[in-house]
Amino acid sequence: MRLGVLALQGAFIEHEQALQRLGVDFTEIRQLADLEHEYTNKNCKLDGLIIPGGESTVQGKLLHDLELFQPIQELIQHDMPVFGTCAGLLLLAEKISNDERCHLATMHITAMRNAYGRQLGSFFTEAEFKGLGKIPMTFIRAPYITEVASDVEVLAEVNGKIVAARQGKQLVTAFHPELHNDQHYNDAVHAYFLQMINE
């Protein structure tokens, strides 16, 4: 298995460390050439893509500037597995309730940016994630999901707000699972994504 990690901005290194702990091969996607390098005869060899947290507006702009937007959107539309955390969730959301912009818009969810307000910028909690039990969740100026279409499965809620969901081969979390590397937790959400890829 070989994954791409979108490495334009934000917390991509922490995802790479999680993949290293899980023994998964990956490559950084920083420019169009990095993606093109993964193609043989018009087929992309990547088994999936991780879109990290950071600033969705910055990553969205860079995707366009670097001409990565369309190829990545097409790969996801053609069922390449994708895992977006925080800003990555916003990049995948079809609609952002408090922003006119949307980005890749491949997932049938509406999300709210900075949904916990500027005061409660960051917090930690533990909550149930479907199939994984209780897991640690760190939120950093996080969004949450306000609406999901019928093809979206809700995987986790915190205080009645949806913070993780799945639609086909697309997985999103409003929190940052890549920031937890304690033995007990064992990179469970990344492992869940790998399992999704293998299904």
Tokens 């100026």 map to which residue? Answer: 141
**Listed residue (63, 48, 47, 76) closest to 8, CA to CA:** 63
**What is the size of the binding site for ligand GLN (CB under 6 A)?**
11
| Catalytic pick among 86, 103, 180, 190 | 86
- Lookup: tokens for 174: 């409003």
Q: Which of 8, 18, 19, 90 binds ligand GLN (CB under 6 A)?
A: 90
- Lookup: tokens for 181: 């590397």
Q: Which of 141, 146, 188, 196 binds ligand GLN (CB under 6 A)?
A: 141
96 backbone dihedrals φ, ψ, rounded to 5°: -115, 115
Give 52-90 as a DSSP string. -SS-HHHHHHHHHHTT-HHHHHHHHHTT--EEEETHHHH
| Catalytic pick among 15, 176, 180, 190 | 176
Q: Which of 103, 113, 166, 190 binds ligand GLN (CB under 6 A)?
A: 113
- The residue range among 1-9, 49-57, 70-78, 189-197 that interacts with ligand GLN, by the rule CB under 6 A, is 49-57
In the residue annotation, 74 being an active-site residue is answered as no
| Residue 94 found at the interface with ligand GLN (CB under 6 A) | no
Coil/strand/helix, residue 174: coil
Residue closer to ligand GLN by CB (options 141, 169) is 141
Residue closer to ligand GLN by CB (options 4, 54) is 54
| Residue 60 found at the interface with ligand GLN (CB under 6 A) | no
What is the amino acid identity at position 143? P
In the residue annotation, 86 being an active-site residue is answered as yes
Give 110-128 as a DSSP string. EEETTTTTTTT-EEEEEEE
Give the residues lining the site for ligand GLN (CB under 6 A).
53-56, 86-87, 90, 113-114, 140-141
Q: Which residues are catalytic?
A: 86, 176, 178
